[in-house]
C-alpha cells in the first residue's frame, strides 16, 4: 500500500483530517476504539450445534425433499436477487408481496376452484400465524370453537392459545357431522374443518354435509375455517373443489401452506378471506406486523408463474401414489395379522388399524415407543383425540420415503411386533 493510500484510509476512518489549502492533521474527534476480536475455533470450543435431523420413516406430513426442483428454484432466486427491483427492496406490504398474492389467487382458481383475487390473499408464515391473526382480528374472545374429533392438534393448540374454547365433535365416515355438534347448547362462533381430506382419518366431507355447514354459518353469522392440509395431492382425478368455492355467504376462510407442497423450511403459507373481513385483518396486520419471511416471496411468485409449481405438484401426485401402493403392499406382505390399512384417493399418510391379536397385547402408544427404539416413527392415532375413548391405530407417512425404505422399515417394525405378541 502506498503512503498516499495509507493517508486516505486514515482519513476515511476518522483518525486524520485534511484541511483545505493546508496539510493533514490528527483529528480533533477521534473515533471510538475498535472492538478487538479473535477468531474462534467453534469445533474446538465444543459449540457445534446439530442441524436438522433426518426424517424418520414413517413420519407424516413431510414431502420428498430430494424430489424438489432445486435447480429451477435456484435459477429463479438468482435472477430475482442478482439485481432486485426497488419494489422488492422497499417496505413490504403487511398482507404480503403483491405479485405473489395474485399468483396464489390464480393457483387456487385453477387447482381448488376458488374464485378469488389477490386482494383477498394474505401471505402468512403458516397455519399458526393464520389462526393467531384470525383470532386477533375477527373473533370475540373467549368464544366456543367447534373442531373435529379426531383432529389437527396444531390447529386446536393454536386456537386454545389464542383464547378460544375448543369443543371436539366426532367425525363419521362422511366427515364432520354438524348434527352431533349441539350448536344450540355450545353456541360456537366458528367451526374448523378439513373437508378435502379429514386430518388424520382421510375421508372427504360429503357435498350434503358441506351445504349443511355453509347454511348454518350463513344463518347464524358463523365462521368456517377450511384447513386444506394436503388437498393438492389427490391421485384419482383432479383435486376436489374447496369448500370456499361453494360459499355464497362470505363465511369461509381458506387456509393453506406451501410447506407440504414444497419444503417445510420455506415457512410460507396463505389464507383467503371473504371481502367483509379484509379491513379488520389489514388493520390487525398493521398493528402486529407481518411474520411471513419476505426474502422468498418474490422467488415463490416467479416459481408459480413459470409453471414450475404446477409441474412439481403433478409429479409428486404420481410419486406419492406409487409410495402409498408400496406401503400397502409392504403391510400386506409383512404385517398381515398385525396391521391393516386401505387404499386412499389422496394424501401423504395412511392410518393402519391394529388387528385384534395385536390390540389385545399393545396400545398404539406402546407400539409407537417400541418403533422409536428401532428408529421407526409411527404416530399413535389416539394422540389426535381430545376425549376418550380414542380409536387405536398408527398414522404412517409415506410421501418422504423411497419404496425400498418403506418395505425395509415395515419389515423391521413387523418383526419387533411379532416378538411382542408371540
Do 49 and 43 meet the contact criterion of CB atoms below 8 Å apart?
Answer: no
What pLDDT is recorded for position 64? 95
Q: Which residue in this structure is represented by grid cell 411382542?
A: 420
**Strands across the sheet with 394-397, in order?**
339-340, 349-354, 394-397, 379-380
Task: Supply the CATH classification number for the domain 95-305.
Answer: 3.40.640.10
292/304 Cα distance (integer angstroms): 17
What is the sign of the dihedral through the CA atoms of 179, 183, 186 and 191? positive
What pLDDT is recorded for position 53? 74
What pLDDT is recorded for position 140? 82
Tens digits of pLDDT across the chain (422 residues): 566 666 566 666 666 666 655 566 666 666 665 555 565 565 555 566 666 678 899 999 999 999 999 999 999 999 999 988 887 887 788 999 999 999 999 999 998 999 999 999 999 999 999 999 999 999 887 889 999 999 999 999 999 998 899 999 999 999 999 999 988 888 999 999 999 999 999 999 999 999 999 999 999 999 999 999 887 888 876 667 899 999 998 999 999 999 899 999 999 999 999 999 999 999 999 998 888 989 999 999 999 999 999 999 999 999 999 999 999 999 999 999 999 999 999 999 999 999 999 999 999 999 999 999 999 999 999 999 998 778 999 999 999 999 999 999 999 999 999 999 87
* Conformational region of residue 370, where left means phi above 0, alpha means psi within -120 to 50, and beta covers everything else: alpha
* Domain residue ranges in the chain: 1-34, 95-305, 310-421
What pLDDT is recorded for position 289? 86
CA distances from 162 to 132, 136, 294 (A): 6, 8, 25
What pLDDT is recorded for position 5? 61
Q: Burial level of 74, CB count in 10 A (0-12/13-18/19+)? A: exposed
310-421 CATH choice from 3.90.1150.10, 3.40.50.10330, 3.30.420.10, 3.40.50.720: 3.90.1150.10
292/279 Cα distance (integer angstroms): 19
Q: Burial level of 405, CB count in 10 A (0-12/13-18/19+)? A: middle
Do 378 and 349 meet the contact criterion of CB atoms below 8 Å apart?
Answer: no
Amino acid at each position: 500500500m502506498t503512503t498516499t493510500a495509507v493517508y486516505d484510509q486514515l482519513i476515511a476512518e476518522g483518525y486524520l483530517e485534511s484541511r483545505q489549502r493546508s496539510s493533514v492533521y490528527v483529528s480533533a474527534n477521534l473515533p471510538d476504539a475498535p472492538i478487538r476480536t479473535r477468531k474462534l475455533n467453534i469445533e474446538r470450543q465444543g459449540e457445534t450445534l446439530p442441524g436438522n435431523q433426518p426424517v424418520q420413516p414413517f413420519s407424516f406430513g413431510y414431502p420428498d425433499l430430494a424430489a424438489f426442483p432445486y435447480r429451477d428454484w435456484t435459477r429463479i432466486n438468482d435472477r430475482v436477487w442478482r439485481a432486485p427491483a426497488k419494489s422488492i427492496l422497499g417496505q413490504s406490504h403487511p398482507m404480503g408481496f403483491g405479485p405473489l398474492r395474485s399468483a396464489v389467487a390464480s393457483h387456487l382458481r385453477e387447482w381448488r376452484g376458488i374464485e378469488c383475487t389477490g386482494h383477498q390473499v394474505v401471505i402468512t408464515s403458516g397455519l399458526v400465524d393464520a389462526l393467531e391473526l384470525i383470532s386477533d382480528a375477527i373473533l370475540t374472545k373467549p368464544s366456543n370453537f367447534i373442531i373435529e374429533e379426531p383432529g389437527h392438534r396444531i390447529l386446536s393448540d393454536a386456537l386454545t392459545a389464542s383464547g378460544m374454547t375448543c369443543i371436539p365433535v366426532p367425525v363419521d365416515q362422511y366427515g364432520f357431522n354438524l348434527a352431533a355438534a349441539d350448536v344450540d347448547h355450545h353456541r360456537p362462533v366458528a367451526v374448523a374443518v378439513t373437508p378435502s381430506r379429514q386430518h388424520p382419518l382421510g375421508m372427504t366431507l360429503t357435498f350434503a354435509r358441506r351445504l349443511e355447514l355453509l347454511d348454518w354459518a350463513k344463518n347464524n353469522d358463523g365462521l368456517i375455517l377450511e384447513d386444506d392440509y394436503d388437498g393438492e395431492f389427490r391421485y384419482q382425478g383432479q383435486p376436489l373443489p374447496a369448500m370456499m368455492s361453494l360459499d355464497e355467504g362470505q363465511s369461509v376462510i381458506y387456509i393453506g401452506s406451501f410447506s407440504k407442497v414444497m419444503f417445510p423450511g420455506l415457512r410460507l403459507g396463505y389464507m383467503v378471506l371473504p371481502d367483509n373481513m379484509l379491513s379488520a385483518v389489514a388493520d390487525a396486520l398493521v398493528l402486529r406486523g407481518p411474520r411471513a419471511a419476505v426474502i422468498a416471496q418474490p422467488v415463490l411468485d416467479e416459481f408459480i408463474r413459470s409453471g414450475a409449481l404446477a409441474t412439481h405438484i403433478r409429479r409428486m401426485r404420481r410419486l406419492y401414489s406409487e409410495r402409498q401402493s408400496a406401503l400397502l403392499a409392504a403391510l400386506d406382505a409383512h404385517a398381515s395379522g398385525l396391521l391393516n390399512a386401505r387404499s386412499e384417493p389422496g394424501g401423504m399418510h395412511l392410518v393402519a388399524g391394529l388387528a385384534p391379536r395385536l390390540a389385545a397385547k399393545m396400545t398404539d402408544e406402546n407400539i409407537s415407543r417400541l418403533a422409536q427404539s428401532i428408529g421407526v416413527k409411527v404416530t399413535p392415532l389416539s394422540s389426535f383425540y381430545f376425549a376418550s375413548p380414542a380409536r387405536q391405530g398408527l398414522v404412517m407417512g409415506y410421501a418422504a420415503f423411497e419404496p425400498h425404505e418403506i418395505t425395509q422399515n415395515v419389515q423391521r417394525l413387523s418383526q419387533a411386533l411379532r416378538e411382542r405378541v408371540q
